Amino acid sequence: MTTSFHHSTGDLRLEVSGLGVVYANGHRALSGASFSLTGGTICGLVGPNGSGKSTLFKSMMGFVRPSAGVVTINGGPVREALKAQVVAYVPQAEEVDWDFPVSVWDVVLMGRYGAMNFLRRARLSDRLAVEESLRRVSLWEFRDRQIGELSGGQKKRVFLARALAQGGRLILLDEPFTGVDVQTEEAIIVLLRELRTSGCIIVVSTHNLGSVPEFCDQAVLLNKTVLACGPTASVFTEQNLTAAFGGVLRHFHFERSTIQSHDGRSVKIMTDDERPLVFGKDGHLEYKDREGRESLIDERRRRETEAER
């Protein structure tokens, strides 16, 4: 049965259908949530605090028993996928005990435990996997450091390396960019794109809206249920986001702002830590980086000239 996982290079499938979760204290965290993803893809899981993002994560890791619906990975139950080392989780920095007496190497090696024997003695293949993972996130030189002695970005990369060493194909990242410098963010995104190319499904839970269109192919908009899912550009409409976040988002309308025609097409946007999300005039998404999106601009230009005619 588990062989289905080994033969699934490139067509990993995650399906969440009609998922409902009610906690023991009666709190209804999710109801009727449905979406599906096929690898390789990077999917942003977006919603305000308390919208059920972490509950959805826990469901995908089999930690909560759904009161309705089901999560399947490659058509099988989550439990089987866990046994086959398919699911890897990269925790938030706050969840980790940074004073724990383990080195970078130790933590990444833990990613291999599921594949090891009863005594969890590392074999050569385990050591090689750990070394390769550490080199991929450029932490090989830091392998003997205690984890608390790392910078914010390095801390994040340790747990990414653990997911790599595990060989997980459904990779769940919880708020990967909080407390991380710009270079690390870029490095993480490059790595996630490589994983996507190799057929992985990467689900990124974040409240940082602006980062999602930059690197997520798909998005799931969450608020107690799935409000919208699909390609980021179709999910990330002002309408959908307002429905998900209500009045929580800060709006910035250019026509109401002090921006005048002499500012031309160049507008500088500064924020303290969050990447801002920018919408164009007719409600389409604006991207920071137009490289690779030339066709989009051509299409918009064509539409504009048609409208003028």
Binding residues vs another protein (CB under 8 A)? 24, 61-63, 82-85, 87-89, 91, 95-97, 99-103, 106-107, 110-111, 113-114, 118-120, 146, 162, 166, 168
CB of 201 to another protein, least distance (A): 14
Instruction: Considering the complex, state which of residue 49 and residue 117 has its C-beta at the smaller distance from another protein.
Output: 117
Cβ atoms within 10 Å of 31's Cβ, excluding its own:
16
User: Quick one: DSSP state of residue 292?
Assistant: T
Instruction: Considering the complex, state which of residue 101 and residue 292 has its C-beta at the smaller distance from another protein.
Output: 101
CB of 180 to another protein, least distance (A): 20
Instruction: Considering the complex, state which of residue 144 and residue 298 has its C-beta at the smaller distance from another protein.
Output: 144
Instruction: Considering the complex, state which of residue 6 and residue 265 has its C-beta at the smaller distance from another protein.
Output: 6
Q: Which tokens is 71 given?
A: 């999560």
User: Quick one: DSSP state of residue 103?
Assistant: B
CB of 279 to another protein, least distance (A): 36
CB of 29 to another protein, least distance (A): 17
Q: Give me the amino acid identity at 162.
A: R
C-alpha to C-alpha distance for 71 and 14, rounded to whole angstroms: 8
C-alpha to C-alpha distance for 153 and 138, rounded to whole angstroms: 11
Sign of CA dihedral 239, 243, 247, 248: negative
Instruction: Considering the complex, state which of residue 176 and residue 213 has its C-beta at the smaller distance from another protein.
Output: 176
Sign of CA dihedral 97, 101, 104, 109: negative
Q: Which residues pair with 230 in a beta bridge?
A: 219
Q: How far is CA 22 from CA 55, 71, 220, in A?
A: 10, 15, 20
CB of 169 to another protein, least distance (A): 12
Spatial contact of 77 and 160, defined as CB atoms under 8 Å apart: no
C-alpha to C-alpha distance for 48 and 190, rounded to whole angstroms: 26
Instruction: Considering the complex, state which of residue 56 and residue 88 has its C-beta at the smaller distance from another protein.
Output: 88
CB of 135 to another protein, least distance (A): 21
Chain position carrying tokens 């435990």:
113
Instruction: Considering the complex, state which of residue 146 and residue 237 has its C-beta at the smaller distance from another protein.
Output: 146
CB of 57 to another protein, least distance (A): 10
